[in-house]
Structure formats: C-alpha cells, structure tokens
C-alpha cells in the first residue's frame, strides 16, 4: 500500500510521518510514534481508552482516520505533564486515588482537561455527562468524580 | 409514576482457594543503604497489592515506604505467590512478605544484639533505628548495622511463605474450606419508573469488614469499584449465547455501567482484625460486588412489591412484571 505523508502538531511539536491511508490516528500514535499512553480498548469507539485531544476536543482515536488529522493540533497524555511536573488533573487523580489498573486513566484525564478548559467549575452532573464516554471497570467512578472536582479547585487557584 | 425503595444485601466470603493448599512465597533483601527489595510472584492487576505488600514490609522493617522496591509477577525471577484471585493476595502474599521481612530482620537483630551487648528479645526496630526496649539510650542506626554486616560479609536476606490452614471438604461437604472470611452489608436505594421500567440507583452504602485496612484509600477503591460492577450485574450485564457463541461481545451490546449510571458509593470500612492476617488484614476484592445485586433486587421489590428471581433486572422485565401484576389484580377485581 502506498504511504501518505501526514503532518500535524503533536504535543506542541510539528511532526511529519508516513502512514498507510487506512491507518487510524491511534495506530499512528502507538505504532509509528511510540506514544503508548492512548490505549487500544474496544477498538470501536465505545470505551474511550484511546481518547486524545484534537484541537482541544476529546476524540476516540481508534476510529479517527489518521489522515484526517492533517494540520490539526493533537494532544496526548504524554504532552500533558512530566513526572516531576504533573498537570493539575494528573496530580488530582493521583492524590484522590482515582487510578486503579490505569487503563482508562489517560482518556479520563484528557477528557477532564478538555472539560475544565471549557467549564472551570462543573457541577457533578456536568462531570458525569463529560466523562460518560470513558468507561472504567475498576474504580466505580466515585474517586474519579472527586478528582475532577479537586482538579477544578486547584486549577482555579493557579 | 416513580417509585422508590430500599434494600439490603449481606454476605460472607472465604478468603483463598476452597479447601485447597494455596501458598505464597516472597524474598526480602535489605541493602547497605537501608533500601529494601521484595521479590514476590503476586500480580498487581490494579487492585494495589504491590503498594500493600511494600507497606507491610516497611512496617515490619521500620523503614519508609519509599525505600521499598517490589519486583513482582515475573515467573523468571519471583517466587510463586499463586493467583491473584479468591481475594487472597493481601492476606496470603501479605503474610509471605511479612514473614520474609521478619526473617531478614532476624539477621539485623542478631547483629544489633552483638553490637549493643543486649539480648535480641529486648530490641525494637523502628525509624531506621534499633533500640533496647528496656533502655532507649541503648541504640544503633540501621545504617551502622548494615555497614557492620557488609564488613563481615553478612547479607541481610529473608524468605517467607504462607499457606492458609484449610482442610479439604469430605463427602458431606464438611471441612475447613477457608482460614478466614470477609463480611459485608450493603444498602441501596432505587427509584423505578413504572412507565419506562428504568431503574435509577440513588444511593449505595457499602460496609465491609476487611480485618485491617492496610491502605484505606485502596480499600475504598475496591469497594466502590466492586459495588458498581455489582450494579452492572444486577441491572444490565448479560452474556447472550447463540449455539455456544457469545453474540454480544462488544461494549455496544454488552453494557457495563458508565459514570452516568451510578451514584457515588459511600463506603464504610469495618476493621475487625484477623489474628492470622498480616497486621490483621484479610481481603476485599470480590466481597465488594457480592451483596450489591441482592441489595438492588431487594430495593426494587421494596419499591414495586414484586420479586425478581433472574438477573439482570432490565426495564423490559420490570414492565412485563408490572403488566402481569396489573392483570392479576384486574382479574381478581373482576372475579
């Protein structure tokens, strides 16, 4: 299959990569760019483990054609914070114990980041609506909701 | 019309494999800089066993949690710890790690007793310091002991294993299937829409006896997650087979609870210390989801006055039962 050149902005850096025309964005991130933070869960856009931000919007990268990302701004969990300097949402998830097996966590955190960029103090219902596309089997969501509330408070304090 | 009801579910659950030996082993080494390496076969699948085992070793050896590294679940290098199943790892591997830490500690005590000229029995190891219980001025740092051990070529290594005391079941099902049990009661409040059959879970309170909560935050996480999985079991999750094949094997047709389907779970940790557990701990993994469906079914029955004997209790089943109940009432009236 003929490869196509794909250029986009990834975690604030310009990247250029040759991809199969039928590749999904998740394929390119995980296989070509070695960014394995976004997970392949169901592979059909149901679980949200593959969530990345495209121009600030949370998107299931497992069903997003890679070539559609041309010229767009993509953010993955790898671009959010570093181990020494965590993003407030990452810190809140750790502090509140909102992580168990961790498989849903990158998607949960990115969706939360997008929510808080739009709405600085979401109600519990708004948090639930925003995160309803991200499934979690371990935590029961209670601590995730707490973490989003704590993250919102901490971001507002900055 | 929307009708509300409350229900309770209670359970007991045996920790470990039923009536079978299911041992776990661990190695512990204390290094010259007072850091500790644990080797254990225990697989952490997100429940937090690696954290809990490090906490147990830290407590036993009087060092900080951050000074412990855990190498786990690698069949090439770690001793057998059995499966991560049966809610057994905190209880069984926790005991194995504690025993391994105790056996490493024996070397530290022996060396300390020799250096301080006091009997081992009166020594206590805490905060990187070995003290005499009789006279707190008699003390030596762990670092000094480790240095002395290095000087004379002694390695501080311990191993330990634990197998819960069970007895296989006889023909009549009699025996000692488990060495210890977890207990729990959950209370649920639901609201049932009699027009649509939809069930809303409004409140969940889950009280669990875990022996000693080694890591309360992780225990809460287990309780919250288990309750929500139990809610899925009660209301939506059903594998449908067609000629032996699963026909709903995707998240679009096998539904599990989303964040919108469940309320925040209020967990209550009950600590009734288990004498055979590491620092009194038992297990909490599976117990968290066992009483939930019962509590929900009871709450629905309380709301509607109709009993359901089959899970999941879907809106279709609710509507059908309401229809049958109405017809029966009508027939009785007509008669």
Domains of chain B: 2-14+180-334 (3.30.365.10), 24-162 (3.30.365.10)
* Residues in B touching A40 (Cβ below 8 Å): none
Buried-exposed string B177-209: b where 16+ CB fall within 10 A, e elsewhere: bbbbbbbbbbbbbbebeeeebebebeebbbbbb
Q: How far is B302 from chain A (nearest CA, A)?
A: 25
CATH for the stretch A4-78:
3.10.20.30
Domain boundaries in chain A? 4-78, 88-157
* Residues in A touching B265 (Cβ below 8 Å): 140, 142
Q: Do A141 and B228 touch (CB under 8 A)?
A: yes
* B46 → chain A, closest CA residue: A101
pLDDT in tens, A54-74: 999 999 999 999 999 999 999
Rounded to 5 degrees, φ, ψ at B201 are -90, 120
Q: How far is A47 from chain B (nearest CA, A)?
A: 7
pLDDT, residue A104, reads 98
ipTM: 0.95
* Residues in B touching A62 (Cβ below 8 Å): none
The top-level CATH class assigned to A88-157 is mainly alpha
Residue B310 a catalytic site member: no
pLDDT, residue B96, reads 98
Residue B18, token pair as written in the block: 């039923």
Considering only the beta carbons, identify the residue of A44, A101, A132 that sits closest to B260.
Answer: A132
pLDDT, residue B181, reads 98
| Ordered per-residue pLDDT tens for chain B, 335 residues | 999 999 999 999 999 999 999 999 999 999 999 999 999 999 999 999 999 999 999 999 999 999 999 999 999 999 999 999 999 999 999 999 999 999 999 999 999 999 999 999 999 999 999 999 999 899 999 999 999 999 999 999 999 999 999 999 999 999 999 999 999 999 999 999 999 999 999 999 999 999 999 999 999 999 999 999 999 999 999 999 999 999 999 999 999 999 999 998 999 999 999 999 999 999 999 999 999 999 999 999 999 999 999 999 999 999 999 999 988 887 776 65
Q: Do B224 and A131 touch (CB under 8 A)?
A: no
pLDDT, residue A39, reads 98
Q: Which residues contact A56 (CB under 8 A, 6 or more apart)?
A: A73, A75, A114, A117
* B51 → chain A, closest CA residue: A100
The ranges of chain A with pLDDT < 50 are: none
């Amino acid at each position: 299959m003929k490869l196509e050149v794909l250029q986009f902005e990834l975690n604030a850096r310009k990247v250029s990569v040759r991809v199969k025309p039928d590749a999904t964005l998740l394929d390119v991130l995980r296989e070509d760019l070695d960014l394995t933070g976004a997970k392949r869960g169901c592979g059909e856009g149901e679980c949200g483990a593959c969530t990345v931000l495209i121009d600030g919007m949370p998107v299931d990268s497992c069903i997003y054609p890679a070539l559609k990302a041309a010229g767009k701004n993509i953010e993955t969990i790898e671009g959010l914070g570093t181990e020494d300097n965590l993003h407030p949402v990452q810190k809140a998830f750790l502090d509140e114990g909102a992580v168990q097996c961790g498989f849903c966590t990158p998607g949960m955190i990115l969706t939360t980041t997008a929510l808080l960029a739009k709405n600085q103090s979401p109600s519990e219902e708004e948090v639930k609506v925003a995160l309803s596309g991200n499934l979690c089997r371990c935590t029961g969501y209670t601590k995730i909701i707490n973490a989003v509330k704590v993250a919102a408070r901490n971001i507002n304090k900055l | 019309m929307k009708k509300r009801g409350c229900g309770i579910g209670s359970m007991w659950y045996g920790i470990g494999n039923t009536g079978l030996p299911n041992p776990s082993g661990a190695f512990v080494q204390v290094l010259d800089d007072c850091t500790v390496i644990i080797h254990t076969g225990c697989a952490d699948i997100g429940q937090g066993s690696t954290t809990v085992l490090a906490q147990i070793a830290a407590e036993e050896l009087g060092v900080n949690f951050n000074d412990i590294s855990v190498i786990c679940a690698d069949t090439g290098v770690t001793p057998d710890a059995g499966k991560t199943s049966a809610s057994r790892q905190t209880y069984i591997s926790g005991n194995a790690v504690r025993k391994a830490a105790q056996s490493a500690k024996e070397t530290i005590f022996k060396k300390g007793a020799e250096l301080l000229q006091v009997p081992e029995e009166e020594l206590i190891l805490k905060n990187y310091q070995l003290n005499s219980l009789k006279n707190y001025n008699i003390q030596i740092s762990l670092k000094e002991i480790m240095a002395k051990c290095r000087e004379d070529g002694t390695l501080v290594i311990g191993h330990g294993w634990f197998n819960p005391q069970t007895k296989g079941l006889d023909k009549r099902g009699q025996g000692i299937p488990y060495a210890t049990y977890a207990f729990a009661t959950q209370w649920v409040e639901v609201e049932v829409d009699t027009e649509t059959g939809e069930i809303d879970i409004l409140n969940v309170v889950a009280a669990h006896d875990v022996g000693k909560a080694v890591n309360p935050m992780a225990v809460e996480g287990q309780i919250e997650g288990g309750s929500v999985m139990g809610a899925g079991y009660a209301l939506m999750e059903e594998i449908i087979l067609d000629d032996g094949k699963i026909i709903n094997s995707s998240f679009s047709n096998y539904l599990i609870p989303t964040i919108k389907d469940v309320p925040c779970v209020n967990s209550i940790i009950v600590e009734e210390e288990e004498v055979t557990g590491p620092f009194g701990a038992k297990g909490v993994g599976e117990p968290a989801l066992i009483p939930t469906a019962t509590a929900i079914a009871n709450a629905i029955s309380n709301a509607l006055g109709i009993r359901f004997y089959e899970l999941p209790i879907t809106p279709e089943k609710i509507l059908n039962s309401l229809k049958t109940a109405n017809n029966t009432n009508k027939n009785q009236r007509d008669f």
